[in-house]
């Protein structure tokens, strides 16, 4: 069994409207998310081509994440790292579920030192 990871970056603002601290104010981050896919290799010794992962993730980044306000595009008053990681996982899971491989985790980093990893376990 193999685990592949592919990371993506985007810039976006958010506001945690129900938070008591400074994150209640509108602010932005240089976000990163990491897709983790587990599976078996095929006859070409690949689980999935990294380019295929990008083909699915790039339109999502362009249409809902990069230079967007996450409160609006993800429809939440509190798009925390936890919320964003689960939202991304649920969005991407149908695209990465086959007999040979599946999405097993989605990690989101909102700063270089803070992030969240979501799995269904």
pLDDT at 98 over 90: yes
Q: What is the distance between the alpha carbons of residues 80 and 71, in angstroms, rounded to a whole number?
A: 10
CATH code, domain carrying 106:
3.30.479.10
Q: In whole angstroms, what is the distance from residue 120 CA to residue 9 CA?
A: 23
* 16-33 confidence digits (pLDDT tens): 999 999 999 999 999 999
Output the pTM of the full model: 0.95
- Alpha helix (H) ranges present in the chain? 50-60, 70-73, 81-92
Tell me how far apart the alpha carbons of residues 62 and 66 are, in angstroms, rounded to a whole number. 6
Establish whether 112 is a catalytic residue. no
| Active-site hit among 23, 32, 69, 116 | 23
Expressed as residue numbers, the domain containing 102 is 2-118
* Structure confidence at residue 121 (pLDDT): 86
User: Active-site residue 29, yes or no?
Assistant: no
What's the domain count of the chain?
1
């Amino acid at each position: 069994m193999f685990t592949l990871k592919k990371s993506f970056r985007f810039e976006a603002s958010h506001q945690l409207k129900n938070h008591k601290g400074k994150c209640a104010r509108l602010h932005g981050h240089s976000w990163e998310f990491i897709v983790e896919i587990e599976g078996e290799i095929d006859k070409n010794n690949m689980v999935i081509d990294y380019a295929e992962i990008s083909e699915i993730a790039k339109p999502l980044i362009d249409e809902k994440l990069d230079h967007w306000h996450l409160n609006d595009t993800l429809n939440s008053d509190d798009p925390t790292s936890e919320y964003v990681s689960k939202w991304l996982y649920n969005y991407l899971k149908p695209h990465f579920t086959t007999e040979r491989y599946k999405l097993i985790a989605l990690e989101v980093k909102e700063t270089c030192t803070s992030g969240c990893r979501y799995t269904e376990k």
